Amino acid sequence: MAPKKYKSSIPRQMYWSTDLKNSKICPKCNSLLENEYHSYLLLVKTEKDVESFMVGNDKGYFCPNCAVVVLDKDEFGKMVLGFHDVSSSKFTVAGIVDLDTIPEDKKNKLLGDDDNPIPLVSFTNYPNLSGDVN
C-alpha cells in the first residue's frame, strides 16, 4: 500500500460531518479537507454491552493544516448496520488504528489478542456513545 499522507499515529480531534455546517472544510482553520483510507475502531452499544469492530474506509476527511478529522457519520452508521441490524444501537468511533506499528512477525496474527493488542490512537476528544444509527 502507498504510504499515507495523514499519519495514523497522530492523535486527532474528531468531528462528525453532521455536526458541521460545512463538512468539506476544517471547523478549526477552514482548510479544505482531504479524505484518505484509514482503519478505525468502532464502538457499538447494544442492549447487552459494548462491542468493538475494526473497519477500514475512506470516509474520514483530514485537515492538511491541523490535527482534525471529520468523519462521515452517515457512512459510518451504514457500516454499523453491516454488523448489527439494530437501528437503535448507539455507536461511536474511538480512534484510528495505526496498523503501521504492528511488527512484521505479528501481521498475520489476530488483532486484539493479548500479545497483539490493537494499536489504537484515540481521538483527543474521545467521543461518547451518543451517535444514533439511523
Contact residues for Zn ion, defined by CB under 5 A = 26, 28-29, 31, 63, 65-66, 68
Minimum distance of Zn ion from residue 68's CB (angstroms): 5
Shorter beta-carbon distance to Zn ion: residue 68 or 133: 68
**70, 60 in Cβ contact below 8 A?**
yes
Query: Closest separation between CB of residue 17 and Zn ion, Å?
Result: 15
Q: In the complex with Zn ion, which residue's Cβ is closer, 20 or 66?
A: 66
**Nearest to Zn ion of 52, 65 (CB atom):** 65
Minimum Å gap between C-beta 15 and Zn ion is 10
Q: Which residues pair with 60 in a beta bridge?
A: 36, 71
Closest CA to 119 of 3, 9, 42: 9
Give the burial class of 112: count Cβ atoms within 10 A of its Cβ; 0-12 exposed, 13-18 middle, 19 or more buried: exposed
For Zn ion, give the closer residue by CB, 66 or 129.
66
CB of 26 to Zn ion, least distance (A): 3
Least Å distance, CB 122 to Zn ion, is 19
CA–CA–CA angle 120, 59, 21 (5° rounding) = 110
Cβ nearer to Zn ion, comparing 65 with 101: 65
